[in-house]
Structure 1
Amino acid sequence: MSSKLSFISLVASLLAGIPVARSSEAYPSLPTWKCTTSGGCLQQNTSVVLDQDSKYTQGAAGSRTTADYTAMGVSTSGDALTMYHYVTTNGTLNAASPRVYLLGADSKYVLMDLLNQELSVDVDYSTLPCGENGAFYLSEMAADGGGGAGAAAGTGYCDAQCPQGACCNEMDVLEANSEATAMTPHPCDGDSCDSGGCGYNPYASGQHSFWGPGLTVDTSQPFTVTTQFTASGGTLTQITRSYTQNGRQIVGGGTISTCGTDSSSTGLTGIGNALGRGMVLAMSIWNDATQEMAWLDAGTNGPCASGAGTPSNIESQHPDTHVVFSNIRWGDIGSTATG
């Protein structure tokens, strides 16, 4: 997520001076499931909360309103979350680019303990063109949002790009559009983070026919993504990806078994320890004015042509671009496939 910092800094500068939202909003319900091999999957009473910097929309007369999820491109239906990058307000197309976090019934972020566990999600990337990123990832945020207004106000964001100095472990489970994808651990040792990470991108590994419309993983249709965080003796040993589409399991999605120098806070061991402490699920849709998402989908990383991923090109040619995440399940390895 190499350009996330520049995007977040831009949002922060535009919203400087806006007070933090309080927790009086109605959060869109998003049921999820926690699973075990012995007991099956138990539905969780979860919802989503907008990041505090996404809560404010500009009114027609310059007034500000809070927690307008629809105006920020966010809606839920059953267990499905839909996020639009662009939203039309009063006849004008605006960039919403929302980011949300999974919130528990206790008004705290859900901490997913995923060491020696797996995480599955159904996704629909069919409308995401070159240059877009529908991100499904984990951040070692504080469950209470770091105090103050708290998680219920969408506070406390951090990642390995250290936005505004807020550094923390980040596991990019799924960064993708219809043309390319990557999964990338970003371990941190205090404020020293592996911002580039040690990711796996099928296209970059030579699998040019694996991901895309009409390919092995056919991104013109929905499919299930399962990520396993296998541990031995309490230490993360590998991260493995598989897919299921139309009843067919697709292996070969990639395995990460090394990530730099291992220690309690670095390398694969470090990100495994963060997974064991519990990480917060974040979901977002964004594009990249600085690098046009080339680090994800162009050159050696994907089939997208230079210039195809500019925000202006996306806005003019793909104003309805959106991502759908649904049927989120996590738990014992082998337990989420039938959730």
Structure 2
Amino acid sequence: MKLTKTLLASTALTLAAGMTFADGHMASEMTIVSWGGAYSNSQLQAYHKPYSEMTGVEIINDESSAEAVAKLRAMNEAGNITWDVVDVTAADSIRLCDEGLAMEIDFDEQLAPAPDGTPASDDFGDTLINDCAIPQIVFSTTFGYRTDMVGDTPPTTVCDVFDTATYPGQRSLEKRPIGNMEWALLCDGVAKADIYDVLETPEGQEQALAKLDTIKDDVVWWSAGADTPQLLADGEVVMGSTYNGRLFSVIVEQEQPVAMLWDGQMFDLDVWIIPTGLPADREARALDYVKFATDTQRLADQAKYISYGPARASSAPLVGQHAELGIEMAEHMPTDPANATNVFNFNYEFWADYRDDIDAKFQAWLAQ
């Protein structure tokens, strides 16, 4: 999909907010990589369209974020970087930064301050997890279930996913170890505080896979964030994991008989990274774009289209109503106190260190 706009004058275009945009030293086209579906649409509405309208830049959307690490490694090896800005999870940003595949950012120099002048580094706070990751949103991976397929006792805990006697039928899980391994150990009796200590051992990994074995024959494996919402909408699964914003879309916007299971939700971050090795005009354009797309107002604007919490403190008070439905969005955020009573604290650093090894073991288990 492309957004094509008439190229504006090559002299700088200065907005009321004081941000300066395109001149002759910036590329007139950029490829932005994300996850597709309702999430990419929220970025299109909140970031891409306004930026293109102001600058005349043509934005090409790519939906390959699930493969970002492998593809950026291959592009770097080939010396041909075709992406300009990439949306990745926190753990993947750590890997890309450690491998030198993502640019380091001077947050206070290259990102916009809050409206009151608070430096970006203070405004983003704990969401700044490494020198390359430019935070966007706080989201969670959690479960949705069909309200018409669970009888009179709907699931209340994440461990009900493993209860095929009470809740027969197919369930969908992501085709990767992240999340699945933690939930498996949690539901096999491992204390929440001990999950990652157990999971770093071969014995703990085998324990998690053994628990997943108990439902393996009932699982539909997904790789795209839009898969579970579609499977739920079609009644092909009784419950399934996905991102909370995708479930918001199928529940609230599409009015499907689906409900959210917030118990055991895993908080995570989505961040922008800019690949290393870009030509100067493309790097300048990418930096200009992320400065715009992560300012206070733009992050609040995204929450008009999807129920993800903005990563900046100054954006949170600006979160209002859904752009089309007119409902208040704050109560649909994973960070809302009513939804965050039993959160699982996802460990980005663990998965940055162990992802490749556990991935290999998980894929071998899938193939058995």
TM-score, normalised to structure 1's length?
0.29
Structure with bigger gyration radius = 2
The structure in which a higher percent of residues are strand is 1
